[in-house]
Structure 1
Amino acid sequence: MFREMRRKKQALSNEEIIAVLNRGTSGVLAVSGDGNYPYAVPLSYVCHASRIFFHCAKSGHKLDAIARNEKVSFCVIDRDEVVPQKYTSYFRSVIVFGKARILEEKTEKRRALELLAAKYSPDHEQGRLEEIEKAFEHVCMIELTIEHISGKEALELTGFKPSVNSQPEETGTT
């Protein structure tokens, strides 16, 4: 169902993929938007137990799209260093495919909110718990269950050096 990565030499290991997701502070969620136009929106997230959680308002484009089609993708860029003299960039990114759902059950929603808040404010437990309490009824939490995940980095970051006689590979990201 999901395409195999063509440039396997550049594939990240599962450990590297998880590290990218844990390091990242923002990603881009892509959904099937209004009129079947793709809708991609940057957001804060937390990855926990093979799921990604993010928050949003209780109404809007993103929620309408998820209600119509639960299948989404999510991308995190870990590195993007332009190297002008080589006409390339040294990149590292991860892309996730999965199904999104709104967390309706209060215990589930609270746990996801606590995970998200702890990621962005790890040293302020009392403050984040107060903020969760204040915002709880006005915020929506969404869970993305991962069905497929891959990560890729620039050949230059892999340590692999092509021989002089080898065919050049295409450039680009995941």
Structure 2
Amino acid sequence: MFREMRRKKQILSNEEVTKILEKSTSGVLAVIGDDDYPYAVPVSYVYYDSKIYFHGAKSGHKLDAIKKNAKVSFCIIDKDDIVKEEYTTYFRSVIAFGKAYVVEDEKEIMESIEKLSIKYYPEDSEENRNKAIEREKRALCMVRIDIEHVTGKEAIELVKMKK
């Protein structure tokens, strides 16, 4: 169903892909938008339990597209170093494919909001975090991407540097 990567030497291991998903702070969500035009939008997210969670408004282009067609891709650029003299970049990236769903379960909503909050403000007190979550949770919508396929790739120059 999903294409095999052509440049096999450049494939990242599952461990490397997981590290990138866990540490990165933003990615680009791609959906099938209005009139079947691609719509790609940057989002902040958290990755846990092999799923990607992000929040957004309760209405808008992104949510309309997800409700119309749950199939999405999510791209993270982990490294993008320009090497002018070589006319190239030393890159590392991850692309996840899956289905996105609006989270309806209250327990899952609260858990994903808390994980997202801790990721972006880990030194905050639990009391302050809980106040912020309580204040904001009614206005936001949590979305979960159930990953069906994920790949990671890096520039051949980075592969060679590892050896």
- How far apart are residue 45 of structure 1 and its match? 0.3
Q: Taking every aligned residue pair, what percent have the same amino acid on both sides?
A: 58
Q: Give the structure with the higher percent helix.
A: 2
Alignment of 1:92-107 (within 5 A): 92-107=92-107
In 2, distance between residues paired with 1:123 and 1:160? Answer: 35
1:159 aligns to 2:163 (yes or no) = no
TM-score, normalised with respect to structure 2: 0.96
Which residue of 2 is the match for residue 139 of structure 1? 140
Corresponding residue SS for 2:145: strand
Question: Which structure has the bigger radius of gyration?
Answer: 1
- The equivalent residue for 1:55 is 55
Distance 1:90 1:128 in 2: 38
Deviation at 1:23, TM superposition (A): 1.5
Distance 1:65 1:132 in 2: 26
Aligned residues: 161
Partner of 1:22: 22
The answer to whether 1:128 aligns with 2:129 is yes
Partner of 1:31: 31
Query: Counterpart of 2:76?
Result: 76
The CA deviation string for residues 34-64 of structure 1, in whole angstroms up to 9 with x for no partner, is 0100000001000001100000000000000
TM-score between both structures, scaled by the size of structure 1: 0.90
Deviations 1:13-44 (A, max 9, x none): 00000111112110000000001000000010
Q: Distance in 1 between matches of 2:160 and 2:22?
A: 23
Partner of 1:13: 13
1:3 and 2:3 are equivalent in the alignment? yes
What are the ranges of 5 or more consecutive residues in structure 2 without an aligned counterpart? Answer: none
Deviations 1:68-110 (A, max 9, x none): 0000000000000010100000000000000000011211111
User: What letter is aligned with 1:64?
Assistant: D
Q: What residue is the counterpart of 1:112 in the other structure?
A: 112
Between the aligned partners of 2:51 and 2:28, the Cα distance in structure 1 is 15
| AA of the residue aligned to 1:142 | V
CA displacement at 1:136 relative to structure 2: 1.0
Aligned equivalents of 1:159 and 1:49: distance in 2? 32
**Please, what is the CA RMSD of the aligned residues?**
1.1
**3-state SS of 1:4 partner:** coil
Q: Distance in 1 between matches of 2:12 and 2:129?
A: 34
> For residue 127 of structure 2, what is the amino acid of its counterpart?
Q
The one-letter code sitting in structure 1 at the alignment partner of 2:69 is N
1:127 deviates by 2.1
The structure with the largest strand share of the pair is 2
